Amino acid sequence: MSGLGELDRPETPRSPGAWDERSRKSLTDRAPGPGDAAAPSSGDGGAARGGAQPPSTVRRAAADPVKALMHRHRDLCERAVDPLEIAAGLEAHGVTDRTAARFRHRDVFSLAEEMYARIPRDGDAPPRPTEPSAPRAARAAWIVLAPLPGVLCAAAVAGLRLTEGRPRLIAAAVGALAVALALRAVLRRGPLRAAARTSGTWTCWLVGYALLGDGLLHTALTGGPDALPDGTAGGPWPVAAAPVVALALSCVPAAVGAHLFTTRARRRLTSSRGLADFSASVRPLLLGVFALYTGALAVLLALTGAVLGEPAAYPQALTLGALLLLARLLTVHGHAHAATLVLTAAAAAEATALATVFAGRLPGCGFLAAPVEALVAVCGPAGVPTAACGVGALTLLAHATRRLTRASAHAHAHGQARVTASRPR
Amino acid sequence: MDNRPSRHCLVRIRSSRCEPPGQRRLPKRRIGGARVRIGLLTEGGYPYVGGEAVLWCDRLVRGLAQHEFDVYALSHSEHQEAEGWVPLPPQVGRVRTASLWDHEDDGVAYGRRARRRFAECYGELAAALCTGAPGDPAGAAEDGSTLQADRFAYALYGLADLARDEGGLTTALRSETAVRALERACRTPGAHRAAREARVPDLLTVAARLEHALRPLSLDWYEDDGLGAVDLCHAASGGPAALPGLLAQHFCDVPLLVTEYGVRLRTHYLTEPDSPPAIRSLLAAFHGRLAAETYRHASVITPGNAHARRWQERCGAERAKLRTVHPGMDAAPFAEAGEAPEYADPQTLVWVGRIEPAKDLVSLLHAFAEIRRAEPGARLRIVGAPSGPEGAAYLAHCKGLAAQLFPDEADGPHAVGRNPVSFEEIGGPELPSRADAYTAGAVVVLSSVVEGFPSGLVEAMFCGRATVSTDVGAVVEAIGGTGLVVPPRNPRALAEACVALLRDPERRERLGAAARARALELFTVEQNVTAFHGIYLEILLRTPVRRVLLDDTGEPLPFAAPAEAHVPGRWSDPARVAARSGPGWATDTPARTTDARATPARTATADTMRAGTGNAGTVSADTATAGASTAGASTAGGAKVRGGTERGGTELRATERAATARVTAPVSVTEGAAR
């Protein structure tokens, strides 16, 4: 009984086990007295009220059963965002209202509320979500596919150069078909894939104008055309093959750029804390990708021009390439509407330019051809597509810097990456 | 309009006295057979093969052949749509489906005003999700919680109105406006702790998930020829399936009945353990608030068991609206087994179920070891197939444990020994059916640690077996006092209970008979169908006619919406329909007696038209009111009087049915003594 004085001092138990042992001994040794009430009151007040039970059970129950329960379900408690989640988890582990009664709670919900309230809240940040990587097979597929249109286009041009007459016609048709199919394949998978439908017609028209339009305009203004194009740059209706080959080859930088843009943006998405942060960090990325593509296209234009011995036609090809890239990027990220609109407008502008030149030949309608003639007089035939595509590209660039820097534009890619990562093909 | 008596499906018309008594015949019509058009709302369920709760819905629809069902189904996956539908009975009038899995863009871009409307509504939605304690709508009495619930409702119906007026909600819900509103709400000072930590990908995911969950808002079901034409909506589950019901009530005043066999909110908690806390917090808040809103607007909520009921009460459901309707199970396969005398081995225990860790067979084997010490001749048959690879591994583990605990035993030195514990599957030559499995033993044991509604236990009850089960899930509720219940994970208690039953055949028999009687009373398909039939009619009794028909001069047409108006299809001349704010009989001052001919217009509006729970001349007391008094009524033309007490049972309100009013005999209502 020497330790009784220490025991009866009201204090928080330092460890439940030792306190339990000593108090049990004291309770069994000693007759109930005034000190009896003091000892339990220092611990769990609820347990002290069960006076009718034998002392040993009282002391065992006093050792904070909820704490033990929390320890057993610590994973559940750590990740719970509200008490009901703990309640659901507890029930899934077989805790019922009758179990909760043993913890002196009316039901599982109130037990869960106590547990939720007692979760230690230290300010550690949640682990950063890991970056899902794109499956290897899909990446390989688009890397193989991306140069395909350029290669086929070069082959088609070579075929045009090497053949004459009817075989040349066949070569042109087969080449155009093959390039179209390859382009379609590139746009169907890889980073240039888009969920929305796009207007292939207007894209074809724009590329067709780059191939034939300048020659046609030139000949039209000089009174032609007198014959159909023969596939060479020196004929009566000159054909500009070099920019088209360069554009077809530029599928590779376009795909790489789009891939870079998507992956980098996704990485910034996971790392940025706010929407404004994200926009600010993606804008330079977008401009960088745009500059990369334009530079690559310029190099390709110089190369093809040198190889094919044609003038490189920088302005019209560069603006057209920029327009197509931006339209594709917008479409890929779910803003197909604006892209389609601008492509249509550019194509319509070119068509109108040609139409006014021919309409100006009608008696009394000479004034119709005046604007185009003035433009050509200043800039040459390249002025028309450059103006049309340049204005379109600038519009799309302004639009893209607003739209593609938003987080919602990357939501689809974000979700898609998660889906493909979880279910590889 | 058609007033032919042949159209009166509900009222007996007394034949006149001029006939000789022998020839007098009452027209044989289905009394109490009001034909109700029910909009059955399912999510990933009923018409699709292999969906959730398909069996229950199918039994319900087939069991209520006198009603008409319109099925409105939301499908979960392309796979589900490809699998097709179950065969539909003729009472299913139409099936409309919408998919929750593919998102099609209707290409509508909002103008400035619509954008502002959307931003306002979505901002309110986000604020309601982020602030306050999510998942704790139970404290609805508190001002803050009520405020949040109102904000949520405002946002929900605002978005629904927007979708109905402008379309294009799908695009808007994924737009930057939505994400920005979410971000703003998460960064608000009062936001929940987990929501404050939301990062951009979390916000995007939440926006996408909310768009997914709110897809029913964009459906075109809420027109007068869609859900507006049904008499009541019956949501087969909570959550997204109840959302069309809520909107139907919002747009067309259709009453809503919600049946939940598993609480949707709880399922959400259990199926989303790995997402970041911000996503879980926001989505849990959404599901919690949606559940609270559903419970608030539902006329009746039918939980499948007490466990679901507790969750619903916790989520804010009023107790007055809750009616527990136990799931119905087909008793026919077990009828023979239940009625046959016991021929099983009196020393055999049977466990039947799917083998998985939650069933705690290890504990059962330990208990059986104790049983063998008391009753050396006892045998245990474990009948069931493993579920999944986890179950297979668990089965192997249990087999190993059984082999360790119990060596094979033989009757004599020359006989082949066998293990007292046998693992079998249903479908073999020994146990061709589940009924055979249950009847193979004297006592059926259930040792689960986790259980929802114990269907196996109910089957054992159908078979008239004495049972020993652990106290988990809805076991106590199902078994009542007709079996022994022990705590889970307590092999000794399980063993003691089993031994007690093994040694006492009389008690076994008594308990088995009681169990069978209880199961036949509570858990049959018939009781389930009957309960829903009664609930349908009860809801309709309390639901006023939703529209008033006007004639050419703009006057209300009396009796223009009789009971036959619920016969599908138009049979009378079209009349103009005017929306009416509320039930006429509810706003009118209660009258002691009402002469149908004196106030024809009022009778027409008061006409609930779903005459039908009882026979002519009977009285049905409104259960929503105090129900303390009944009103006796004698009517000359077979009138029905519904009596109910209001505010302490002092006023008696008599409401005639139009069918009554159409009978030319003068109607007199004698007032019943209010008890």
Please report whether residue B246 resides in a domain. no
| pLDDT (tens digit per residue) in B431-481 | 888 888 888 888 999 998 888 788 889 999 998 889 999 988 788 888 988
> Which residues 607-626 of B are in CB contact (within 8 Å) with A?
none
Strand partners, B486: B470
Residue B273 with chain A: CB contacts under 8 Å: 79
Q: What ipTM is given for this predicted complex?
A: 0.72
The first and second tokens of residue A111, run together, are: 């037990």
Q: Which residue has the higher pLDDT, A11 or B401?
A: B401
Cβ of residue A72 closer than 8 Å to a chain B Cβ: no
Closest CA to B364 of B345, B381, B376, B347: B381
Distance of alpha carbon B398 from alpha carbon B363, whole angstroms: 10
Mean pLDDT of chain A: 75
Predicted pLDDT at B105: 65
Q: Is the pLDDT of residue B483 over 70?
A: yes
Distance of alpha carbon B342 from alpha carbon B324, whole angstroms: 33
Asked if B499 and B586 sit in the same domain, the reply is no
User: In B190-262, which residue ranges form alpha helices assigned H by DSSP?
Assistant: 193-196, 200-213, 242-252
Q: List the single range of B18-27, B146-155, B237-246, B479-488 with lowest mean pLDDT.
A: B18-27
Q: How many beta carbons lie within 10 A of that of residue B487, not counting itself? A: 14
Cβ of residue B471 closer than 8 Å to a chain A Cβ: yes
Confidence of residue A62 (pLDDT cuts 50, 70, 90): low
Domain extent at residue B468? 332-523
The full length of chain B comes to 675
Owner of token pair 């982020």: B130
Asked if B348 and B422 sit in the same domain, the reply is yes
Confidence of residue B549 (pLDDT cuts 50, 70, 90): low
| pLDDT (tens digit per residue) in A342-395 | 888 988 988 888 888 888 888 877 787 777 888 888 877 778 888 888 999 999
Cβ of residue A84 closer than 8 Å to a chain B Cβ: yes
Please report whether residue B571 resides in a domain. yes
Sign of the Cα torsion A179, A185, A188, A193 reads negative
Q: List the single range of A111-115, B28-32, B390-394 with lowest mean pLDDT.
A: B28-32
Strand partners, B100: none
Q: Do B199 and A415 touch (CB under 8 A)?
A: no
Distance of alpha carbon B190 from alpha carbon B394, whole angstroms: 48
Cβ of residue A402 closer than 8 Å to a chain B Cβ: no
Residue B310 with chain A: CB contacts under 8 Å: 97, 107, 109
| pLDDT (tens digit per residue) in A73-83 | 888 888 888 88
Distance of alpha carbon A419 from alpha carbon A115, whole angstroms: 35
Asked if B475 and B611 sit in the same domain, the reply is no
Asked if B375 and B444 sit in the same domain, the reply is yes
Cβ of residue A341 closer than 8 Å to a chain B Cβ: no
Closest by Cβ to A129, choosing from B276, B288, B473: B276
Predicted pLDDT at A54: 46
Long-range contacts of A235-241 (CB under 8 A, 24+ apart): A237/A212, A238/A214, A239/A211, A239/A212, A239/A215, A240/A210, A240/A211, A240/A212, A240/A214, A240/A215, A240/A310, A240/A311, A240/A313, A241/A157, A241/A160, A241/A211, A241/A308, A241/A310
Predicted pLDDT at B157: 92
Into how many domains does chain B fold? 2
User: Residue B570 to residues A265, B355, B577, B578, B596: CA-CA distances in angstroms?
Assistant: 59, 55, 14, 17, 26
Q: Are A155 and A148 in contact (CB under 8 A)?
A: no
Rounded mean pLDDT, A140-169: 82
A95 CA: distance to closest CA in chain B (Å): 8
Confidence of residue A425 (pLDDT cuts 50, 70, 90): very low
| pLDDT (tens digit per residue) in B71-81 | 898 888 888 78
| pLDDT (tens digit per residue) in B202-218 | 888 888 889 888 888 88
Residue A91 with chain B: CB contacts under 8 Å: 266, 307, 450
Q: Is the pLDDT of residue A23 over 70?
A: no
The first and second tokens of residue A28, run together, are: 């069994």
Q: Residue B420's domain is classified under what CATH number?
A: 3.40.50.2000
Please, which residues have CB within 8 angstroms of residue A142's CB and are 6 or more apart in sequence?
A186, A189, A190, A191, A192, A255, A259
Asked if B484 and B560 sit in the same domain, the reply is no
Please report whether residue B204 resides in a domain. no
In percent, the amount of chain B with pLDDT more than 90 equals: 16
Predicted pLDDT at B632: 35
Predicted pLDDT at B592: 34
Query: For B179, which residue in chain A has the nearest alpha carbon?
Result: A408
Strand partners, B38: B69, B232
Q: Do B135 and A85 touch (CB under 8 A)?
A: yes
Residue A83 with chain B: CB contacts under 8 Å: 135-136
Cβ of residue A344 closer than 8 Å to a chain B Cβ: no
Owner of token pair 């489906």: B97
Q: Are A92 and B449 in contact (CB under 8 A)?
A: no
Q: Is the pLDDT of residue B591 over 50?
A: no
Asked if B345 and B458 sit in the same domain, the reply is yes
CB pairs under 8 A between A and B: 116
| pLDDT (tens digit per residue) in B39-90 | 899 888 788 887 767 888 888 888 888 888 888 988 888 887 888 888 888 8
Predicted pLDDT at B650: 32
Confidence of residue B662 (pLDDT cuts 50, 70, 90): very low
Please report whether residue B142 resides in a domain. no
Distance of alpha carbon B92 from alpha carbon B70, whole angstroms: 6
Cβ of residue A81 closer than 8 Å to a chain B Cβ: yes
Rounded mean pLDDT, A206-227: 77
Rounded mean pLDDT, B304-320: 88
Which among B204, B211, B270, B476 is the top mutation candidate for probing chain A, defined by the most A β-carbons within 10 Å of its own β-carbon?
B204
Q: Do A407 and B203 touch (CB under 8 A)?
A: yes
> Which residues 156-175 of B are in CB contact (within 8 Å) with A?
174-175
Q: Do A275 and B175 touch (CB under 8 A)?
A: no
Residue A125 with chain B: CB contacts under 8 Å: 197
Please report whether residue B627 resides in a domain. yes
Q: Do A269 and B266 touch (CB under 8 A)?
A: no
Query: For A93, which residue in chain B has the nearest alpha carbon?
Result: B450
Please report whether residue B609 resides in a domain. yes
Predicted pLDDT at B518: 92
Predicted pLDDT at A139: 65
In percent, the amount of chain A with pLDDT more than 70 equals: 74
> Which residues 107-166 of A are in CB contact (within 8 Å) with B?
107, 109, 121, 125-126, 129
Predicted pLDDT at A123: 58
Which among A73, A77, A84 is the top mutation candidate for probing chain B, defined by the most B β-carbons within 10 Å of its own β-carbon?
A84
Q: Do B197 and A126 touch (CB under 8 A)?
A: yes
Q: Do A414 and B276 touch (CB under 8 A)?
A: no
Asked if B556 and B426 sit in the same domain, the reply is no
Predicted pLDDT at A301: 87
Q: List the single range of A38-47, A51-60, B98-107, B562-571 with lowest mean pLDDT.
A: A38-47
The first and second tokens of residue B250, run together, are: 């919002």
Q: Do B136 and A107 touch (CB under 8 A)?
A: no
Q: Do A407 and B288 touch (CB under 8 A)?
A: no
Cβ of residue B193 closer than 8 Å to a chain A Cβ: yes
Predicted pLDDT at B496: 93
pTM as predicted: 0.73
Distance of alpha carbon A69 from alpha carbon A63, whole angstroms: 11
Q: Do B266 and A337 touch (CB under 8 A)?
A: no
Confidence of residue B258 (pLDDT cuts 50, 70, 90): very high
User: In A209-335, which residue ranges form alpha helices assigned H by DSSP?
Assistant: 214-221, 241-249, 251-271, 275-308, 314-332
User: Residue B565 to residues B37, B91, B340, B395: CA-CA distances in angstroms?
Assistant: 11, 17, 50, 59
Cis peptide before B590 (omega within 30 of 0): no
| pLDDT (tens digit per residue) in B626-654 | 333 333 333 333 333 333 333 333 333 33
Cβ of residue A269 closer than 8 Å to a chain B Cβ: yes
Q: Is the pLDDT of residue A149 over 90?
A: no
Please report whether residue B536 resides in a domain. no
B269 CA: distance to closest CA in chain A (Å): 6
Sign of the Cα torsion B208, B209, B213, B214 reads negative
Predicted pLDDT at A131: 52
Please report whether residue B390 resides in a domain. yes
Q: Is the pLDDT of residue B7 over 80?
A: no
Q: C-alpha angle A71/A76/A77, rounded to 5°?
A: 65
Q: Is the pLDDT of residue B495 over 90?
A: yes
Asked if B556 and B434 sit in the same domain, the reply is no
Query: For B488, which residue in chain A has the nearest alpha carbon?
Result: A94
Q: Which residue has the higher pLDDT, A371 or B393?
A: B393
Predicted pLDDT at B360: 87
Angle between helices A251-271 and A411-422 (to 10 degrees): 90
Q: Do A81 and B192 touch (CB under 8 A)?
A: yes
Query: For A403, which residue in chain B has the nearest alpha carbon?
Result: B176
B309 CA: distance to closest CA in chain A (Å): 13
Rounded mean pLDDT, A105-124: 84
Please give the single-letter amino acid code of residue B286.
F
| pLDDT (tens digit per residue) in A225-251 | 766 666 666 667 777 788 888 888 888
Closest by Cβ to A273, choosing from B199, B270, B314: B199
DSSP secondary structure of A21-90:
HHHHHHHHHS---HHHHHHHHTS-HHHHT-TTS-HHHHHHHTS-HHHHHHHHTHHHHHH-SSHHHHHHHH
The first and second tokens of residue B568, run together, are: 């599908």
| pLDDT (tens digit per residue) in B498-536 | 999 999 989 998 999 999 999 998 898 989 999 998 898
Q: Is the pLDDT of residue B571 over 80?
A: no
Asked if B578 and B624 sit in the same domain, the reply is yes
> Which residues 221-260 of A are in CB contact (within 8 Å) with B?
none
Q: Are B450 and B473 in contact (CB under 8 A)?
A: yes
Predicted pLDDT at B342: 61
Confidence of residue A132 (pLDDT cuts 50, 70, 90): low
Query: For A415, which residue in chain B has the nearest alpha carbon?
Result: B205
Q: Which residue has the higher pLDDT, B167 or B547?
A: B167
Cβ of residue A83 closer than 8 Å to a chain B Cβ: yes
Asked if B488 and B561 sit in the same domain, the reply is no
Asked if B388 and B507 sit in the same domain, the reply is yes
Residue B269 with chain A: CB contacts under 8 Å: 84-85, 88-89
Asked if B470 and B616 sit in the same domain, the reply is no
Is beta strand B441-446 parallel, antiparallel or unpaired with respect to B345-352? parallel
Strands laid side by side in the B300-303 sheet: B92-99, B68-75, B37-43, B232-235, B256-260, B300-303
User: Residue A293 to residues A215, A287, A299: CA-CA distances in angstroms?
Assistant: 26, 10, 10
Q: How far from each other are the two terminal CA atoms of chain B, in whole angstroms?
A: 41
Please give the single-letter amino acid code of residue B75.
S
Owner of token pair 């949606």: B290
Q: Which residue has the higher pLDDT, B356 or B613?
A: B356
A61 CA: distance to closest CA in chain B (Å): 18
